[in-house]
C-alpha cells in the first residue's frame, strides 16, 4: 500500500496537477526531438547509398533540404519544450508564492527554523528545476530504448553490448546518488546555516562594530562555511569521478560498437553494409546520452529534492488557514478566557489563568515586573501566539483564527521592539496601504508627530531606510504609534509604548489614547511606568505569568498600596515593577 503523503507534500503535488498538460506536451516534444537525432545518421546512410551509387545531384539536394528541415524542426521542438517547462515552473511558483510567503512568516513567528527567506529560495530552486537539463533529459529515455531496439535489430550481439553499457550507466547513476546525496544534502544544510548566521550578524552590525566583535563573529561564520566546503568537496570528488566514468563509458561504448560492427561485417554477419557500422556507433552513444546527462546533473536533483522536502515540511508545519465567511467588523468588545499560553516550539508555560473582559472604549493598563508575561499577553491578544487553553475573543470571535487580512485593519499593535520597514514615513504610517494623505496625517497628528515630519525636507515622503534608520529611538516609537492608530482601529495593543518617549511624547500619547477611547477604541497598554495609568480605566497586575489583580484602576492601585505597606521594611521596591502610586 502506498504511504499517504504528508499534508505539505500533498499540497505541493496539488499545485503540480494543473501543470501536467504542460509537462505532457513538453515530454512529447522531447521524445520526438530525441528520435529526430537519427536524422544525421539516416542522411549519412542515404548519401552513401543512393547519392554515391546514383551520382544524382538532385537526390543529394533533396536529401540535404530534408535533413536541414528536420534540424529546424528539432530546434523548434527543443525551444517549445524548454518554453513549456519554463512556463510550468513559473506557474508553480506563482501558485505557491503567496502561500509560502505567509507560511514562512507564521513559522518565523513560531521561531521555527523553516521561517526564513530560505522558503522563497527553495521555491525558486523547484521552479528552475522544471527547465533544468536533468529533467529535460527524462523524455529522451523512451527514445533511448528505441535506439537500443534498433541496435538489436542490426545485430543481437551489438544489442547485448549496448544493453550492457546502459546497465553499467544506470549503475553509475545509482552510485552517484548513493555517494553524493548525503554530502550534498549536508552541504546544503551547512550553507543555509552559514547564510542564516551571516544575515542575523548583519542585522546586529552596530553592536558588533562598537564592541569589536567582528573577528569573533567572522570566526563563527567561517567555521560553518568550512563545514559546507568540506561536504561540498566530498560530494564533488565523488561526483567528478563518477561523471568522468560516465562520459568515458559513453565513448567506449560508441567505439566498441563501431569495432564490433566492423568485426561482424568482416565475418559477413552484419547486413546493411559499412554505413550501418557508423550508425550503430552513433546510436550506442545516444542510448547512454540521457543517462549521462542525469548523472552529470545529479547535484541539481539532490538540491531540488532537499528544497522540495523543506517546502513540504513548512507547509505541513503551517497548514493553510480555512477560508471562512467574512466576519462583520468588530466593535471592540474583548473577552479573555482563562489563558494557558505556551511559548511556540517549547513546553514553557508563560501565562496561566489570565482572564478578563473589556467593553468598547475601555483602557486597560497591564503592569508587572520584568518577565511577568506582559509581552506574551500582548502577542496572544493580537492573535500572534495561540493559547493552549482559553481564547482571546474580539466580539466573541477567536482573534488567533480570525483572518488577519480582514481583521488587521481593525487592530493596532505596537510591539516592544518597533520594526519599521523600507519605505517612506508616510507609507510606514499607512501600513503600506493606498490610504489618502489626510488619513496618514490624522494618525501622525494624533501622536504629535506631524510637525516633526513636515519639518523634514521631503515631509511624509522621506525615505526612512531599513528599520527606520534615519530616525531616533523616540521618533521611531512615535511612527510605530501612528501606524498602530492609523485608520481608527477598534482594538489597540501597545507594548511599552512610552519606553523611548520624552515627557512631551508621553503627553501626546496619553492624549491620543483619550481621543481614540472617546471614539470607542479599546486599549490594552503594557507598561512599566506610572505615567499612562492616568488614562486607564482598569488595571491588570501580572506576576510570573499569573493574574494577581484585575479591576477598576483606583481599586487595584489601592489594593496594591495596601499589599505593599506591611512588606515594605523587608521588600523595598519590589522587583522593578511600577511603584503603586495613584496616577494623575
Ligand X SMILES: Nc1ncnc2c1ncn2[C@@H]1O[C@H](COP(=O)(O)OP(=O)(O)OP(=O)(O)O)[C@@H](O)[C@H]1O
Residues in contact with ligand X by the rule CB under 6 A: 111, 343, 346, 348, 350, 368, 370-376, 416
Looking at residue 2, the DSSP 8-state letter turns out to be P
Cα dihedral sign, 78-81-87-93: negative
CA neighbor of 230 nearest in space, from 182, 273, 300, 277: 182
Answer yes or no: are the C-beta atoms of 151 and 162 closer than 8 Å: yes
Q: Shortest approach of ligand X to residue 509 CB, angstroms?
A: 18
Question: Between 370 and 518, whose beta carbon lies closer to ligand X?
Answer: 370
CA neighbor of 552 nearest in space, from 544, 541, 563: 541
Question: Between 395 and 495, whose beta carbon lies closer to ligand X?
Answer: 495
Quick count: other Cβ atoms within 10 Å of Cβ 182? 15
Q: Shortest approach of ligand X to residue 105 CB, angstroms?
A: 16
Q: Shortest approach of ligand X to residue 354 CB, angstroms?
A: 11
CB neighbour class for 9 (10 Å; exposed up to 12, middle 13-18, buried from 19)? middle
Using CA atoms, how far apart are residues 62 and 77, in angstroms rounded to an integer?
23
Q: Shortest approach of ligand X to residue 499 CB, angstroms?
A: 9
Using CA atoms, how far apart are residues 123 and 101, in angstroms rounded to an integer?
10
Q: Shortest approach of ligand X to residue 389 CB, angstroms?
A: 16
Using CA atoms, how far apart are residues 9 and 136, in angstroms rounded to an integer?
23
Q: Shortest approach of ligand X to residue 171 CB, angstroms?
A: 50
Question: Between 297 and 375, whose beta carbon lies closer to ligand X?
Answer: 375
Task: Give the residue ranges of DSSP H helices in 388-434.
Answer: 404-407, 425-429
CA neighbor of 15 nearest in space, from 89, 79, 69: 89
Question: Between 113 and 142, whose beta carbon lies closer to ligand X?
Answer: 113
Question: Between 110 and 249, whose beta carbon lies closer to ligand X?
Answer: 110
Question: Between 111 and 271, whose beta carbon lies closer to ligand X?
Answer: 111
Question: Between 265 and 343, whose beta carbon lies closer to ligand X?
Answer: 343
Question: Between 335 and 499, whose beta carbon lies closer to ligand X?
Answer: 499
Q: Shortest approach of ligand X to residue 372 CB, angstroms?
A: 4
Question: Between 399 and 577, whose beta carbon lies closer to ligand X?
Answer: 577
HSE-CB for 301 with a 13 A CA cutoff = 21
CA neighbor of 395 nearest in space, from 328, 318, 485, 349: 328
Question: Between 261 and 509, whose beta carbon lies closer to ligand X?
Answer: 509
C-alpha cell at 127: 521552479
Q: Shortest approach of ligand X to residue 526 CB, angstroms?
A: 6
Q: Shortest approach of ligand X to residue 174 CB, angstroms?
A: 45
Question: Between 406 and 544, whose beta carbon lies closer to ligand X?
Answer: 544
Q: Shortest approach of ligand X to residue 318 CB, angstroms?
A: 17
Using CA atoms, how far apart are residues 419 and 287, in angstroms rounded to an integer?
59
HSE-CB for 170 with a 13 A CA cutoff = 8
Quick count: other Cβ atoms within 10 Å of Cβ 549? 17
Cα dihedral sign, 368-372-376-380: negative
CA neighbor of 350 nearest in space, from 174, 514, 546: 546
Q: Shortest approach of ligand X to residue 476 CB, angstroms?
A: 17
Q: Shortest approach of ligand X to residue 99 CB, angstroms?
A: 25
For 292-359, the DSSP string reads HHHHHTHHHHHHHHHHHHHHHHHHHHSPPPP--PPPPPP---EEEEEEEEE-TTS--EEEEEEEEEE-
> Which residues does 87 contact at the CB level (< 8 Å), separation at least 6?
22
Answer yes or no: are the C-beta atoms of 430 and 440 closer than 8 Å: yes
Query: Is residue 552 helix, strand or coil?
Result: strand
Question: Between 292 and 350, whose beta carbon lies closer to ligand X?
Answer: 350
Amino acid at each position: 500500500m502506498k504511504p499517504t503523503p504528508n499534508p505539505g507534500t500533498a499540497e505541493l503535488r496539488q499545485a503540480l496537477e494543473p501543470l501536467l498538460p504542460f509537462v505532457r506536451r513538453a515530454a512529447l516534444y522531447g521524445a520526438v526531438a530525441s528520435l529526430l537525432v537519427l536524422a544525421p545518421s539516416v542522411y549519412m546512410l542515404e548519401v552513401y547509398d543512393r547519392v554515391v551509387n546514383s551520382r544524382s545531384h538532385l537526390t543529394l539536394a533533396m536529401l540535404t533540404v530534408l535533413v536541414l528541415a528536420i534540424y529546424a524542426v528539432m530546434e523548434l521542438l527543443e525551444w517549445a519544450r524548454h518554453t513549456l517547462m519554463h512556463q510550468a515552473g513559473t506557474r508553480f511558483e506563482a501558485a505557491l508564492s503567496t502561500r509560502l510567503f505567509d507560511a514562512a512568516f507564521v513559522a518565523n513567528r513560531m521561531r521555527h527554523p523553516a521561517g526564513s527567506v530560505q522558503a522563497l529560495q527553495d521555491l525558486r530552486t523547484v521552479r528552475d528545476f522544471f527547465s533544468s537539463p536533468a529533467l529535460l533529459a527524462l523524455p529522451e529515455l523512451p527514445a533511448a530504448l528505441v535506439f537500443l531496439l534498433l541496435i538489436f535489430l542490426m545485430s543481437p550481439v551489438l544489442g547485448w553490448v549496448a544493453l550492457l553499457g546502459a546497465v553499467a550507466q544506470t549503475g553509475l547513476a545509482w552510485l552517484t546518488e548513493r555517494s553524493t546525496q548525503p554530502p550534498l544534502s549536508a552541504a546544503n544544510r551547512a550553507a543555509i546555516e552559514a547564510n542564516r548566521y551571516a544575515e542575523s550578524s548583519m542585522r546586529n552590525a552596530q553592536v558588533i562594530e562598537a564592541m569589536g566583535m567582528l573577528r569573533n563573529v567572522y570566526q563563527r561564520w567561517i567555521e560553518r562555511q568550512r563545514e559546507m566546503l568540506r561536504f561540498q568537496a566530498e560530494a564533488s570528488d565523488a561526483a567528478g569521478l563518477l561523471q568522468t566514468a560516465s562520459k568515458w563509458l559513453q565513448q567506449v561504448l560508441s567505439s566498441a560498437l563501431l569495432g564490433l560492427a566492423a568485426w561482424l561485417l568482416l565475418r559477413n554477419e552484419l547486413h546493411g553494409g559499412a554505413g550501418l557500422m557508423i550508425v550503430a556507433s552513433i546510436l550506442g552513444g545516444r542510448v547512454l546520452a540521457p543517462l549521462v546527462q542525469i548523472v552529470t546533473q545529479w547535484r541539481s536533483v539532490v538540491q531540488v529534492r532537499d528544497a522540495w522536502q523543506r517546502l513540504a515540511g513548512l507547509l505541513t508545519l503551517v497548514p493553510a488557514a480555512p477560508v471562512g465567511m467574512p466576519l462583520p467588523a468588530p466593535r471592540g468588545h474583548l473577552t479573555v478566557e482563562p489563558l494557558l499560553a505556551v511559548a511556540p516550539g517549547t513546553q514553557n508555560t508563560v501565562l496561566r489563568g489570565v482572564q478578563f473582559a473589556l467593553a468598547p472604549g475601555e483602557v486597560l493598563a497591564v503592569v508587572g515586573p520584568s518577565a511577568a508575561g506582559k509581552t506574551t499577553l500582548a502577542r496572544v491578544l493580537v492573535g500572534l501566539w495561540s493559547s493552549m487553553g482559553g481564547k482571546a475573543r474580539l466580539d466573541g470571535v477567536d482573534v488567533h483564527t480570525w483572518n488577519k487580512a480582514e481583521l488587521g485593519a481593525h487592530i493596532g499593535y505596537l510591539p516592544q521592539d518597533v520594526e519599521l520597514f523600507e519605505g517612506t514615513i508616510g507609507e510606514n504610517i499607512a501600513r503600506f496601504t493606498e490610504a489618502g494623505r489626510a488619513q496618514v496625517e490624522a494618525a501622525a497628528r494624533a501622536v504629535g508627530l506631524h510637525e516633526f515630519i513636515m519639518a523634514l525636507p521631503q515631509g511624509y515622503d522621506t525615505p526612512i531606510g531599513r528599520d527606520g534608520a534615519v530616525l531616533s529611538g523616540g521618533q521611531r516609537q512615535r511612527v510605530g504609534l501612528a501606524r498602530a492608530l492609523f485608520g481608527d482601529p477598534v482594538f489597540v495593543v501597545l507594548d511599552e509604548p512610552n519606553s523611548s518617549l520624552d515627557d512631551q511624547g508621553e503627553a501626546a500619547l496619553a492624549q491620543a489614547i483619550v481621543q481614540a477611547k472617546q471614539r470607542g477604541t479599546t486599549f490594552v497598554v503594557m507598561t512599566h511606568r506610572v505615567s499612562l495609568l492616568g488614562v486607564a480605566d482598569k488595571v491588570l497586575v501580572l506576576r510570573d505569568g499569573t493574574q494577581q489583580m484585575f479591576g477598576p484602576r483606583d481599586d487595584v492601585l489601592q489594593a496594591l498600596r495596601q499589599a505593599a505597606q506591611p512588606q515594605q521594611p523587608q521588600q523595598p521596591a519590589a522587583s522593578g515593577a511600577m511603584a503603586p502610586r495613584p496616577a494623575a
